[in-house]
Amino acid sequence: MSPSSEDPITLVVIHEPRPHLSKHVFNSKCRALADAIMALPVCQMNFLKYDYIFQTSSLDANLGSFGFPESRPRVLTIKKCETPEHWEEVRRNPEFKRLIGEKWGSCHTFFANVVKQVNTPATGDSVFIFSILKAPARHSPEEFSSRLKEIVDRGVALPISQKIYVKHLILFPSNIDLDLQNANHMLRALGLSAFGRPRRRSQCKQTAVTHFTPYSQFACAQSREDFVELLDDPALKQWGREAMPQVEYHVSGVSFLAGVDSRV
């Protein structure tokens, strides 16, 4: 189906395993779930895009030396629908309900506002780093979003960032209007955690996902090497030392080199 809006709805799901599951079993279950979901005709009709995002360990040492904590197992899926009504049609499907009702892990879900800080055309293959961060409960969603964007803007403005990034996105929980509020109610009805504008301050668990896509500027270079150069840059390391404590990244943050499998 073709989108009729420039701003389709973006739904982010962060999957976490139960403690007894190995990373291999967890990844296998997540991939099987993604395959089964996208085999459903209702999903093929209503999803504009479905990305399955999984962790790799290729840059763990570099990320560790930069100051990022060791990444815990996560799988993300990012889905795009044209309208809340298209998501409503998916979530009402009995087979879809059955698939996501299987309890072998937990998932956190939110409708996202996508902030594009860098968005230039890429040629050839690219590699991706995803970072996930939960806001401290004492911050309101507005405070956290404003603080995080200001901090990340400074990092993106560095010369090394301008050289390496071809895309840099932040996915914030949506400031919910009536349609998206209803959509989040749908998520809760399915037993999923829905992030957005919490009803009580104690429930404030806003999550942001940052999405980096570097691109080698030389045809013979390895794209992964762009990230190595980025993470070794003294100015970016200084930015990281100042930025991470401000958003308490060491408490709940996770970053990893990601594989992206686009199903639509």
DSSP assignment string, 21-37: S-HHHHHHHHHHHHHHH
CA distance 161 to 237: 12
Whether the pLDDT of residue 145 is over 90: the answer is no
Every domain of the chain and the residues it spans: 9-262
For residue 29, pLDDT over 80 is answered with yes
The CATH classification number of 9-262 equals: 3.30.70.100
Instruction: Report the alpha-carbon distance of residue 128 to residue 213 in Å, rounded.
Output: 5
Mean pLDDT of 210-228: 50
What radius of gyration do the chain's Cα atoms show? Answer: 18
Query: How far are the Cα atoms of 43, 165, 173, 177, 188 from residue 140, in angstroms, in the given order?
Result: 34, 30, 12, 17, 21
H-helix segments, 67-137? 84-91, 94-100
* Dihedral sign for Cα atoms in the order 240, 170, 54, 129: negative
> Terminus-to-terminus CA distance in the chain, angstroms?
10
pLDDT at 218 over 50: no
Closest to 120 measured CA to CA, from 168, 182, 185, 66: 168
Q: Could you report the per-residue pLDDT of 64-78, keeping only the tens digit for each? A: 777 777 777 888 888
* Residue 254: partners with Cβ closer than 8 Å, 6 or more residues away: 68, 69, 71, 72, 74, 131, 132
pLDDT at 152 exceeding the cut of 80: yes
> What would the DSSP string read from start to end of 128-147?
EEEEEEEPPTTS-HHHHHHH
Average pLDDT, the chain: 75
What backbone phi and psi angles, to 5 degrees, belong to 39? -80, -15
Model confidence at 192, pLDDT cuts 50, 70, 90, reads very low
Q: Does residue 104 carry a pLDDT above 50?
A: yes
